[in-house]
Amino acid sequence: MSSGGRIILSSTRGSCRDRTQTTVRLSRDRGQTFRTLKLNPRPSAVLALEVVGGDSMLVIGADDRCRPAGYESRDGGRTWEKADVKGRWHLDGDPAQRQVTSPNGKMDVPCRPTALSSVRNDVARDGSRWITVGSTAQPDVAIVLTNYVAGSPADLDTVAALVAKGALYGCHFHADDLDATFEKIRAAEAEIVQEPTEQPWGVRDGAVRDPSGNLVRIDQPPR
């Protein structure tokens, strides 16, 4: 997690099940140097990281009994105090679980999550919703998720049908090993629309559907 690229807060995931302690590191010079934070008690797993502005930071960890605990700094990471994590998004302390904790409690998800993106803005109005998210590794990139469609209710049904059909050309991703990637997707019990196939346009790819019905294609670049 970074703030404008200058302050970078990073960690290993860890696990509260096998009690392998994690390491949390902080850089204040755009990643040129890092120092290891001495959080007390030291967490067995890190569930979430937040950097808000230049001085406010939050680490949500888990102890060896998988209980979440918050560590907050308001002076740029120089000192840390315990913080309440109620109402905050974070991963489960056990990496094997298919759950995340939200402001409304625990939620089941269709796969084993390994990280959470930062929710930067959330606006709801007249039955529509706009959620702006971003990767912790790319603070300058934002993605807006919305169910808003300008038009009549019939237009909404038409768009939903086109999305499910894959006619709107959804997301495309590259994978170094396409077969291994699909084995992971299959193990996560996601819906596979098309197995990896040699396509007439010169690539080998396959397709899956996300929980919202969007078609996602994954290909392996030619070697």
Edge-first strand order for the sheet with 99-102 is: 90-91, 99-102, 105-108
Looking at residues 143-160, what average pLDDT do you find? Answer: 77
Q: Which residues of 159-189 are buried (b: 16+ CB within 10 A; e: fewer)?
A: eeeebeebeeeeeeeebeebeebbeebeeee
Cis before 41 (ω within 30)? yes
- Does residue 137 register a pLDDT over 60? no
- Does residue 100 register a pLDDT over 80? yes
Domains in the chain: boundaries: 2-113, 117-148, 160-220
Q: What percent of the chain has pLDDT over 70?
A: 84
- Does residue 134 register a pLDDT over 90? no
Give the integer Cα–Cα distance in Å for 168 and 170: 6
Q: Which of the given ranges, 49-53, 77-81, 116-120, 131-135, has the highest pLDDT on average?
A: 77-81
Residue pair 210/216 in contact by the 8 Å Cβ criterion: yes
Looking at residues 151-159, what average pLDDT do you find? Answer: 80
Domain 160-220 falls in which CATH fold? 3.30.720
What is residue 190's DSSP assignment?
P
What is residue 65's DSSP assignment?
T
Angle at the Cα of 44 from the Cα atoms of 67 and 22, rounded to 5 degrees? 145
Place of tokens 């996601």: 190
82 SS3 class: strand
